[in-house]
Amino acid sequence: MSNSYIDGLISPSRNKRVARTVRPKASLEIGEDQATKQHLEQQRLLRAERLRKEKLRNRNISLAQSDDPLVGQAEIRRKQSVGSGNTRTISEISAMPEMEAFNNKATSAKPELTETSKPATVTSRIRRKIGDFSKRNHDDFVEPVQAFGLTRQDDFDEDFENKNELGDARFDDENLMDLSSDELFNNRKKGRKDQDSDEDDKKPKKKGFIRRHPKLTIFLILLLCGGTALYLYGDQLVAKVTGGKSNLVDLVKTVVTEKITPLKSDKQGRTNIAIFGTSGYDMAGSEGKYVHDGAQLTDSLMVMSIDQKAKNAVTMSLPRDLKVGREACYTGKINEVYVCASNNGKNEEAGAQAVMKSLGEISGLEMHYYIHVNWGSLVQIVNALGGITVTVDEDINDYYYTKVVMKAGVPTHLDGEKALGLARARHGSASGDFTRGENQQKVLVAIKNRIAEKGMDIPAMINLVNVLGDNLKTNVNIDEIKTAAKVMSDFNPANIASVPLINTPEGNLVKNASFPVGGVDISFVIPSAGVQNYTKIQQFLESKIADYSDSPATSRILALNGTDEGGIAANEKIELEKAGFRVTGTGNAPKGEYPDKVSLYMIGSKEETKKKLETYYGLTAKPASDLPKGIDTKNYDFVVIIGKPETKE
């Protein structure tokens, strides 16, 4: 028994892990009972070794300091043997006097024990001795593998040695020491799986490709489903919209990238777009349901000025009969500009540039982009959206021409046919062509709102894009389309203002007139200030843009001189404009005392500009109610009075 114990406890190899599973060699020299006892003893010793490795990691007290002198002497001899390079065999070590004395002492301590119970007694005794080992140097204590002729597996899992979740709970209970090898192995395997699962839960899970790139995934799926035909179709579609300047690859890059390309803008930070519509069924004026001889005449002309930061827009529709210069090659009306410059639609770019130039001269704005829409496609667009809802400002009874009859102030649901009729109707309303321009704006806003609220599915979106591909052209680059779509989607309809040209606070800005053309009097619309005199139109549009803008560049500041010295207000205007503010008026303040060096008054509600002015002057703006009497604040957002501080003698 003692030799068995020592042989199981000492092995020539150090710093090796205990085998995961061991199998006793078949014994032909001993009886069945003795083999069974030896097997049980081996199992207990292996479990004891695992207990030692699990609980004892640091070795603070060596065996040489043990309270048992026999054990201490055996340890000293073992170290001397190892240190000198002389490896003792198991038989030699078991024959050492100290080991024999140790075994005799252990046996004589309890003489009433039977022979079969001695291994358990000695094992328990040594287990207590092992309890004095430190955890740090536990590998100094050798393994029992070779002593019993056991087969070992070298793929022992270090996780069980270092992080056995079941170790403490299992081996702290002496009763669990009788677990079979299979049970111990299964429990250890289960513990390792639980541990791996916990570690996986702690690791941050990276989003999959589909979640990180949903738009690209949809595109790839469509591309795989449709193959080359879908790619060629999409490529042609993008080329149609952009006039051949971009392709499908450019579109995909724009969709999946996080980059936002800013739109072009003027000095005031506004993006200005020329929108015009022709009435042919397609862009080439091909024969169709809505085609007529003047298919390439622009039935609608509109200027849209967008403030990307403030998320507002101002639109102004121009009457198609407005008289312009020689760029209109027939009668001289503005609706002829496109058809003349484009050679009846054959040169899209030339026609669009001519329209942008004309609208820029009339509005006084720098045109950055154009959007050419075919009103004939409106039927398909609206039907693809499931219809739109429009509320008009005055009654319309144009049943004879367009079959449109609508009541003012009543929301009306329109399908494609009725929406087109409303966009073209200029009869049956009090203001004629001017009302038609306003209604066209309402139709466009209704389409925008419908797209935002519908949340279109992929088939409906493909249908809409297909319609637009044949009936919309623009010079907006493919990488700018993403920005434009985001800007428009963020707009609240309440922040889109329409600027009329008649019935304004300034009066009518245009009027009807008649001029002979080829010996025939032709009806025109001309500015109230005179033919091609667009000053009042530009000033009114500028004031409306300022009403909806809140930035120093679009502010309307009145600078007044409150001193006896000349040129104070003019100098202040120069300084403010250097700082980025916009001064639209100067003058003298009403007579009186202005002891403060600068007095700032806020007239409107431009909070952002107010903060910048307060920072610039280092003071707090006063309300309009504190403004001295006699100052006309119409069309101004702020009033600045330069005073003369009193000097102390």
Summarised one tens digit per residue, pLDDT across range 316-375 is 989 989 999 877 778 889 999 999 999 888 898 999 999 999 999 999 999 999 999 887
Task: Quick: pLDDT tens for 479-516.
Answer: 787 777 777 767 766 678 888 888 888 889 999 999 99
* Integer Cα distance of 273 and 276 in angstroms: 10
249-267 pLDDT, tens digit each? 555 555 555 567 788 998 8
Q: Half-sphere exposure (CA, 13 Å, Cβ side) for 227?
A: 1
Question: pLDDT class for 287, splitting at 50, 70, 90?
Answer: very low
Question: 414 pairs with which residues across the strands?
Answer: 388
Going 464 to 465 to 471 to 472, the CA torsion angle's sign is positive
**For the residues of 363-378, what is the DSSP string, one character each?**
H-----EEEEEEGGGH
The closest alpha carbon to 463, from 390, 386, 388, 389, belongs to 386
Coil, helix or strand at residue 191: helix
Report percent pLDDT > 90 for the chain: 22
Q: Is the dihedral of CA 7, 8, 14, 16 positive or negative?
A: positive
The residues, ordered by sequence, that sit 6+ positions from 378 with a Cβ below 8 Å of its Cβ are 416, 419, 420, 423, 443
Mean pLDDT, the chain, integer: 71
Query: Could you tell me which residue, 431 or 92, shows the higher pLDDT?
Result: 431
Buried b (16+ CB within 10 A) or exposed e, 112-128: eeeeeebbebbbebbbe
Which is more confident, 135 or 504? Answer: 504
- Domains of the chain with bracketed CATH: 2-156 (no CATH), 260-533 (3.40.630.190), 550-642 (3.30.70)
636 close to 584: Cβ distance less than 8 angstroms = yes
Average pLDDT of span 451-467: 62
Return the higher-pLDDT residue of 414 and 429. 414
Among 25-39, 113-127, 596-610, the range with the most confident prediction by mean pLDDT is 596-610
Of 335, 364, 321, 297, which Cα lies nearest the Cα of 526?
A: 321
